[in-house]
Structure 1
Amino acid sequence: MQFEIAHDHPSLPGHFPGNPVVPGVLLLERVLDAVEAAGGRAGALRLPQVKFLQPLLPGQCAEVSLETPAPGRWRFRVTRDATLLASGEVVDDAAGPA
């Protein structure tokens, strides 16, 4: 799932003034959108592990890729070209133990 955060997104002026960087919470929102598009629940999910490695700047195109190691579990990677920006795991506890 590809996405881009526009230069005029309302969160950017405060993050950081004069040098905007896309907040990590917006990356995670796109990850959860990808999980839902892959058939995951729109309800309560948890993110037991998340690593932010590189920033995403407004207007840059990024992509979310998912791997499903077990029902109710998704490993994600957010990349820009070949650069890993963020990675982690999303878990639906209602799906039961892995």
Structure 2
Amino acid sequence: MVHERVLSIGHEHLSLAGHFPGHPVVPGVVLLSEVIETLRRGSTAPLSVTGFPVVKFSTPLRPGEAVTIRVEEEEAGRAAFLCTVQARPIASGVIEFRSGASTQAGPA
């Protein structure tokens, strides 16, 4: 199953305050949070993220750029993701999760 959405992180996002003044970049953790949200929106059951065993940030995401997030479930509990701005890759990797859990897993 493939889940996809397009979004933009605005200049007013709280994570950008002081994050490279004069040359703002969307933090990777914000982008990964949107990857999780894309997967959750496409899921019919609640899920809990258990990890990101592979993540590669290719180029910076600037505030206001329209990023396409594509999450493709490969097997139960595992999906590949790709984030792009037009044809430019921003981030890619693998997300692992459990279905049926109502909260996101935290550190043990």
**Could you say which TM-score interval applies, normalised by the shorter chain?**
0.7 to 0.9
In structure 2, C-alpha distance between the alignment counterparts of 1:33 and 1:44, rounded to whole Å? 10
> Gapped runs of 5+ residues in structure 2?
101-108
1:28 is matched with 32
Which structure: greater strand fraction?
2
> Gapped runs of 5+ residues in structure 1?
none
1:81 is matched with 86
* Higher-RCO chain (CA-CA 8 Å, sequence separation at least 6): 2
Aligned to 2:72, the other structure's residue is in SS state strand
Task: State the shift of 1:59 in Å.
Answer: 0.6
2:103 is matched with none
1:68 aligned to which of 73, 86, 102 = 73
In structure 2, C-alpha distance between the alignment counterparts of 1:41 and 1:74, rounded to whole Å? 15
The range that moved more, 36-45 or 73-82, is 36-45
TM-score by length of 2: 0.80
**Do the aligned partners of residues 90 and 27 (structure 1) sit closer, same or farther apart at CA in structure 2, a change above 3 Å counting?**
same
The one-letter code sitting in structure 2 at the alignment partner of 1:14 is G
1:51 is matched with 56
TM-score by length of 1: 0.88
Query: What is the number of residues matched between the two proteins?
Result: 95
Task: Percent identity, please.
Answer: 38
1:19 aligned to which of 23, 35, 45 = 23
Aligned-residue CA RMSD (Å) = 1.7
**Do the aligned partners of residues 42 and 69 (structure 1) sit closer, same or farther apart at CA in structure 2, a change above 3 Å counting?**
closer
